[in-house]
Structure 1
Amino acid sequence: MLPLDLPRLRTLVTHLRGELGRTEKALSAAEEAEAVATRRRPRPDPPAWLIERSMGAALGMLECAGTGRVGG
């Protein structure tokens, strides 16, 4: 329960604003560190192959992109 008198409530608000400021600074630093780590990570290799629908998709035909092989 909160105190009912104004001076103590104002003191509490001042304290909480300070805590919020420190928390926001810590959050900002953590987000920046995560952004730096993300930029350093190598991108994953692209897949060796993809399956795409061909013109014959209505017939159950699939084409393997890159090889041009068709199967169904």
Structure 2
Amino acid sequence: MQPDGDAQRDYKGEVDYFGVYCHERREVYLVPIDDVPGKAAMLRLAPPRNGQVKGIRWAQEYLLREVAPAYVA
């Protein structure tokens, strides 16, 4: 937690990417900081039940083997 009590912070200008690991799928996602609006973002693993498609950040698009295949064994 931050000294001001805020558990989230803005990393723009400090990092280029966030690495995210999904234990259930044993997959790693690489999310560019420019794709994170503000202090938080979510990756969607499965389609929503209501069929929404607009504004969804699909995890598959950030899958490490898709984004940087040279780094995946």
Report the TM-score when normalising by structure 1. 0.22
Larger radius of gyration: 1
**Highest RCO, 1 vs 2 (Cα 8 Å, sep ≥ 6):** 2
More helix, by proportion:
1
Report the TM-score when normalising by structure 2. 0.22
